[in-house]
Amino acid sequence: MTPRIVPLEELVARIPEGARIAVGGHHFARVPVAALLQLAKVGPGGLRWFSWGGGLPLEILLEAGRIARIDLCFSSLDIFGLPPRFRAVAEARGLPVHDWPALAMIAALEAGMRNLPYLPVQLPEGSDMADRCPGLCVAQDEGSGRSYGRVAAVRPDVALIHAPYADAAGNVAILGARALDVLLAGAARDVLVTVDEIVPEGALAGMGRLTVIPRPLIGAIAHVPGGAAPTSCLPQYVTGWQAIRTALDAPSLVAALADRRIAPDLRAAARLAPKAIRAGAFAAKPADDPPTVDEIMAIRLSRMLDDATFASAGAVSPLANVAYRLARATHAPGMMLMTFTAGHLDVPPGPLSLSLYEVLDAATAAAHAGGEDTYAAYYQAGRVTHEIIGAAQVDRRGRVNNLELTKPSGAPLRLAGQGGMSDVANMHAQNVLYVTRHSPRTLVEQVAVASSARGVTGARRAELGYRPGGTTVLTDLCLLRLDEEEGTLVVTETLPGVGHDAIRAATGWEVRFAPDCREMDLPDAATLAVLRSQIDPLGLRRLEFVAARDRASLLDEILARDRAGLVACLDDTQAQAADA
């Protein structure tokens, strides 16, 4: 009942050849970087990746040649784009890659944790994901005749997790959003944890609102201060965005990540009080500039939300995150917002800073949760009204392809994946999509593969416990709504100054305009000022619009301003402490 505390080398040596491995954390938060680097250095081969996300940890193990198979929902490097090693193996068909709906993966782990052969789930109707997911099959309830999904249990051989604390008895504690880490700890056969700090037995009870993974679920613990760097681990340190940028640009990611020294300001920032995080520290854009396309789209998306909205901010969607926070800061103060992929519940509006938004949201959220909690209580129950999601390609029927495109040369282009889109396209009342580059390649007659689509419509929504709603697509040229009777998207609004002929020329099907189609209103000055000065002073939304040739310079600008803002917030805090 008391897991051993061992050196990192001994911890990683417990991973057997060919193990099915799951990795905890989320994007650039609490990734067990030190353990992954040790595994890359001396670990076994033939590992079978089974995690919601790929991203940085999968890139580490792919570079080291440790991976033989990949099962995931999504793989992205956040603001830094698509992961090159994952793209290379997926496009070359060098390794088996299996895409899972998020709900199917959660159900597989839950079945494994409960010692059941399978669990039932809602089907991702309208999409092609049920056919592509190896663990999901279609079954039928004998009583009602209703079709449902049946997901076979999965028990990973190993779960690798990083946490800020463990106590001397072996209980492990997480602060803030917990991703799927608690579920992984219950499902995996061996749970290996690195921690920043080991505290005395009994100390965790007095350390605030931590999520504790009890010691019977833990296999072994290694004390590795800074073991998640350069990703974050609250309340120890925040993400080192510049260090990640440098490592991703290096010839060897593994070699570049070996130096995990953490700057003192990144440690101090992890403990900043919410009131110390000022939007003004991040050098807002002058308020009298004309509105840009990204601002028009962000404000139009925000106008879809009201006080009755229950919104979930998904992964890697700066434009959507800006729209949610803007709505709550202006016309929809009563809306419910979940951020950090639903790990932070009921978050008030605040400035989007790369380094500090996790600190702010974790401190101000009414509650912290994991992905399995939010799926069960909110998504599957039909309580969420909106999740605004970026789409790589949309067809005339409103179906989305976020899996793989074809380059002009005919070669495949692997994308990040659908994450939970195939599930939530049906579960949420409003299926809201956006496309930042409207062209015949992004709005097509028919997608080759539908990673998500609205398959549950009309009266069936109420029958299955979902709220009424529809599908909307906002692009940099127009707003389209799905006419469910005709099964086609119809243009209902055009962006200011955009003519019908321009939309026709940029769309891969014969466009229909609604009889009452109108030109979208320009943003009012007050809302524009809030967007620029209070919600998105860094202009993170621009990253979804900039051309590839200009992306590096924009990233440099944003990273520099973000770090300057972080330092300014720390200086203010120190000055106030000195005055007191």
Planar angle of CA 463, 427, 429, nearest 5 degrees? 85
Tell me whether residue 531 is in a domain.
Answer: yes
Q: What is the pLDDT of residue 208?
A: 92
Please compute the mean of the pLDDT values over residues 324-351 and round it to a whole number.
Answer: 95
Q: CB-based contacts of 231: which residues, under 8 Å, 6+ apart?
A: 25, 27, 28, 29, 30, 31, 33, 56, 239, 240, 244
Specify whether the CB–CB gap between 415 and 90 falls below 8 A.
Answer: no
Q: pLDDT per residue over 398-457, tens digit each?
A: 999 999 999 889 999 999 999 999 999 999 999 999 999 999 999 999 999 999 999 999
Q: Is residue 285 predicted with pLDDT exceeding 70?
A: no
509 shares a domain with 427: yes
Confidence grade of residue 127 (pLDDT, cut at 50, 70, 90): very high
Rounded distance, CA 548 to CA 400, Å?
22
Please compute the mean of the pLDDT values over residues 321-343 and round it to a whole number.
Answer: 95
Tell me whether residue 211 is in a domain.
Answer: yes
Question: What CA–CA distances, in Å, run from 506 to 391, 444, 509, 577?
Answer: 16, 10, 9, 57
Q: What is the pLDDT of residue 341?
A: 83
CB atoms within 10 A of CB 364: 15
377 shares a domain with 439: no
Tell me whether residue 270 is in a domain.
Answer: no
Residue 187: CATH number of its domain: 3.40.1080.10
Please compute the mean of the pLDDT values over residues 273-300 and round it to a whole number.
Answer: 90
For strand 336-339 and strand 310-312, is the pairing parallel, antiparallel, or unpaired? parallel
Three-class DSSP category at 556: helix
- Detail the DSSP E strand segments found in 283-442: 310-312, 336-339, 344-345, 367-368, 389-390, 394-395, 404-406, 412-414, 431-435
Query: Could you say which DSSP state residue 521 is in?
Result: P
Q: Is residue 373 predicted with pLDDT exceeding 80?
A: yes
Q: What is the pLDDT of residue 577?
A: 80
Q: Is residue 162 predicted with pLDDT exceeding 70?
A: yes
395 shares a domain with 293: no
What does the radius of gyration of the chain's CA atoms come to, in whole angstroms? 23
Q: Is residue 579 predicted with pLDDT exceeding 90?
A: no
Summary mean pLDDT of the chain: 96
Tell me whether residue 260 is in a domain.
Answer: no
344 shares a domain with 303: yes
Tell me whether residue 353 is in a domain.
Answer: yes
Domain of residue 426 covers 388-522
Q: CB-based contacts of 291: which residues, under 8 Å, 6+ apart?
A: 299, 522, 523, 528
Q: What's the structural domain count of the chain? A: 3
453 shares a domain with 402: yes
Mark which of 207, 223, 255 sits at the end of a domain.
255
> How far does CA 189 lie from the centroid of its chain?
26
Q: CB-based contacts of 120: which residues, under 8 Å, 6+ apart?
A: 107, 139, 148, 149, 150, 151
404 shares a domain with 483: yes
419 shares a domain with 370: no
Report the percent of the chain where pLDDT is more than 90.
93
Rounded distance, CA 22 to CA 6, Å?
20
Specify whether the CB–CB gap between 318 and 295 falls below 8 A.
Answer: no
Q: pLDDT per residue over 294-324, tens digit each?
A: 999 999 999 999 999 999 997 778 999 999 9
> Which residue, 145, 176, 28, is CA-closest to 463?
145
What number of helices (H) and strands (E) belong to the chain?
A: 19, 27
Q: What is the pLDDT of residue 260?
A: 83
Please compute the mean of the pLDDT values over residues 218-230 and round it to a whole number.
Answer: 98
Q: pLDDT per residue over 1-49, tens digit each?
A: 889 999 999 999 999 999 999 999 999 999 999 999 999 999 899 999 9
Tell me whether residue 150 is in a domain.
Answer: no
Please compute the mean of the pLDDT values over residues 59-70 and round it to a whole number.
Answer: 98
For the chain, the distance separating the N- and C-terminal CA atoms, rounded to the nearest angstrom, is 47
Confidence grade of residue 349 (pLDDT, cut at 50, 70, 90): very high
Mark which of 207, 224, 255 sits at the end of a domain.
255
170 shares a domain with 105: yes
Please compute the mean of the pLDDT values over residues 508-512 and round it to a whole number.
Answer: 97
409 shares a domain with 352: no
65 shares a domain with 193: yes
Tell me whether residue 309 is in a domain.
Answer: yes
353 shares a domain with 470: no
475 shares a domain with 339: no
Instruction: Looking at 270-333, list the stretches that DSSP marks H as alpha helix, in order from N- to C-terminal side.
Output: 293-302, 318-329
Residues in the chain: 580
Rounded distance, CA 240 to CA 234, Å?
13
Q: What is the pLDDT of residue 461?
A: 95
Tell me whether residue 33 is in a domain.
Answer: yes
